[in-house]
């Protein structure tokens, strides 16, 4: 039986992870759960899965959850220390990082320190602290298994090819809800339009990131760390039907890809069952009914998220943190309808242009830059 700690249990990835656990009660046991503010759902999860420990965003939430779940007798933590305790819960074999944002850095590092296998959905952690996370995982002999669908596809395409050099990674993108629009047209788009992703139902932050293509940019950086490949060898291709989930090109020109219907449960489950594959209910690809699998170059002049990320990946140091922190801050404002869609790009660019720091920033420097970015953006734009 595999014991699971799940941080971000009430979100899109979190609830789909629990669906997999629900389908395989003999294989998996949830030992720790953590979320931010959705106490009602967390309580339902506690009643269904009986974890040994849970944690929530703040002290007030913890007090209220303790009161409503007194009959269960499950200890409730809160804040960063509770989150790290859940992520590194002694009983857990694997920690699923389904939390959103760079708030995931410290719990991920805590889980690695404690020797847990990491099933990583939380890309912002690798983007900002990839050098710290991969180093810690190597030192501790811990595996990081990708949950992000493209990275899972790349990982699947690498199976059986140990020792073979990756010539190129083909990272596919749906293009998001605004594919084909001009910059002029993007001036007027509303929050509700940006939240309508054509193929995937996901949390709000990543849905906006998909519309700006910042998500694909973050995924380029994520891939450099997961697969030890320079950004120049990662090519982004728009594949609007989201059927080719990504591919690896080898030295002999062979391209190996993973295809399937868009369903996050497959990459989540594969990160839990790897190297085995087990039955997963759901739609299957019917090639006879596919009208087309289109492929196109991304429009990098309109959707600036990719160029920001290539610049950040090449330069390294604190720049990926500046990019990511500015994006998190800007997207939070966009979700409250306080800024326009294109403002997100201006905020990120400004934060990157004004960033400075060491080549290999420490955890403290990364967290300090996150704060500093907010201060710089406040001073410049608010």
Count the Cβ atoms, other than its own, within 10 Å of residue 151.
28
91-130 footprint of Mg ion as x/- string (CB under 5 A): ----------------------------------------
The site partner of 100 among ligand NAD, Mg ion, none (C-beta below 5 to 8 Å per kind) is ligand NAD
Report if residue 117 touches ligand NAD, rule: CB under 6 A. Answer: no
CA 38 to each of CA 20, 175, 176: distance values in angstroms, whole numbers, following the listed order = 20, 30, 27
Distance CA 223, CA 245 (A): 14
**CB closer to ligand NAD, 35 vs 318:** 35
Determine if 85 is a binding residue for ligand NAD (CB under 6 A): no
Count of residues interacting with ligand NAD (CB under 6 A): 28
DSSP 64: H
How many helices (H) and strands (E) the chain has is answered by 16, 11
Q: Which of 98, 109, 247, 323 binds ligand NAD (CB under 6 A)?
A: 98
Q: Which stretch binds ligand NAD (CB under 6 A): 119-127, 190-198, 308-316, 336-344?
A: 119-127
Q: Contacts with ligand NAD in 262-291 (CB under 6 A)?
A: 264
Q: Does 177 bind ligand NAD (CB under 6 A)?
A: no
CA dihedral 168, 222, 28, 4 (to 10 degrees): 150
Nearer to ligand NAD, 9 or 321 (CB): 9
Of 192 and 379, which has the nearer Cβ to ligand NAD? 192
209: contact with Mg ion by CB under 5 A: no
Q: How far is the CB of 382 from Mg ion (least distance, A)?
A: 31
For residue 45, how far is the Cα from the chain centroid? 22
Single residue of 5, 20, 202, 322 touching ligand NAD by CB under 6 A: 202
Is residue 10 within the footprint of ligand NAD (CB under 6 A)? yes
Q: Strand 234-238 and strand 144-146: pairing?
A: unpaired
- Considering only residues 142 to 161 of the shown chain, the ones binding Mg ion according to CB under 5 A are 148-150
d(CA 254, CA 37) in angstroms, rounded, equals: 47
How many chain residues touch Mg ion (CB under 5 A)? 3
| Cβ-based nearer residue to ligand NAD, 268 or 373 | 268
Looking only at residues 45 through 84 of this chain, which bind ligand NAD when binding is defined by CB under 6 A? 57, 83
Cβ proximity to ligand NAD: between 103 and 220 the closer is 103
**Residue with structure tokens 């992000």?**
148
Question: Considering only residues 289-348, where is the footprint of ligand NAD by CB under 6 A?
Answer: none
Q: Which pair of structure tokens corresponds to residue 44?
A: 């339902």
Only segment of 30-38, 64-72, 135-143, 361-369 that touches ligand NAD (CB under 6 A): 30-38
The distance from CA 281 to its chain's CA centroid, rounded to whole angstroms, is: 24
Q: Cα(232)–Cα(218) distance, rounded to whole angstroms?
A: 15
Rounded CA-CA distance 162/154 in Å is 13
CA angle 355, 359, 365 (to 5 degrees): 65
Select the residue interacting with ligand NAD from 30, 33, 96, 103 (CB under 6 A): 103
CA distance 205 to 335: 8
Tokens encoding 226: 């997961």
Residue 179 · residue 257 · CB < 8 Å:
no
* Longest CA span, the chain: 62
Does 11 help bind ligand NAD (rule: CB under 6 A)? yes
* Interacting residue ranges for ligand NAD, rule: CB under 6 A: 8-14, 34-36, 38, 57, 83, 98-100, 103, 121-124, 148, 200, 202-203, 205-206, 264
* Interacting residue ranges for Mg ion, rule: CB under 5 A: 148-150
């Amino acid at each position: 039986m595999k014991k699971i700690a799940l941080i971000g249990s009430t979100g899109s990835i979190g609830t789909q992870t629990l669906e997999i656990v629900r389908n395989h009660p003999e294989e998996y046991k949830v030992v720790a759960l953590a979320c931010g503010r959705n106490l009602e759902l967390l309580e339902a999860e506690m009643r269904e899965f009986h974890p040994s420990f849970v944690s929530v965003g703040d002290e007030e939430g913890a007090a209220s959850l303790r009161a409503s779940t007194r009959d269960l007798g499950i200890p409730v933590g809160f804040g960063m220390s509770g989150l790290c305790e859940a992520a590194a819960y002694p009983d857990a074999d694997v920690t699923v990082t389904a939390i959103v944002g760079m708030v995931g850095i410290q719990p991920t590092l805590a889980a690695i320190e404690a020797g847990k296998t990491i099933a990583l959905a939380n890309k912002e952690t690798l983007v900002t602290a990839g050098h710290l996370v991969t180093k810690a995982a190597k030192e501790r002999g811990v595996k990081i298994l990708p949950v992000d669908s493209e990275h899972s596809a790349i990982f699947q395409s690498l199976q059986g090819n140990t020792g073979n050099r990756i010539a190129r990674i083909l990272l596919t993108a749906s293009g998001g809800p605004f594919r084909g629009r001009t910059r002029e047209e993007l001036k007027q788009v509303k929050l509700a339009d940006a939240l309508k992703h054509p193929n995937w139902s996901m949390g709000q932050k990543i849905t906006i990131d998909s519309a700006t293509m910042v998500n694909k940019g973050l995924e380029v950086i994520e891939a450099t760390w997961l697969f030890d490949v320079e950004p120049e060898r990662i090519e982004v291709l728009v594949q609007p039907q989201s059927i080719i989930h990504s591919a690896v090109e080898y030295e002999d020109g062979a391209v190996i890809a993973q295809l399937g219907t868009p369903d996050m449960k497959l990459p989540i489950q594969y990160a839990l069952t790897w190297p085995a594959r087990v039955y997963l209910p759901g739609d299957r690809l019917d090639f006879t009914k596919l009208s087309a699998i289109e492929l196109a170059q991304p429009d990098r002049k309109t959707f600036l998220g990719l160029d920001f990320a290539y610049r950040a990946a090449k330069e390294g140091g604190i720049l990926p943190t500046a990019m990511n922190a500015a994006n998190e801050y800007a997207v939070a404002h966009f979700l409250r309808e306080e800024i326009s869609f294109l403002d997100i790009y201006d905020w990120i660019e400004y934060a990157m242009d004004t960033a400075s720091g060491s080549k290999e920033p420490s955890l403290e420097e990364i967290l300090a830059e996150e704060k500093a970015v907010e201060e710089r953006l406040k001073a410049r734009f608010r």
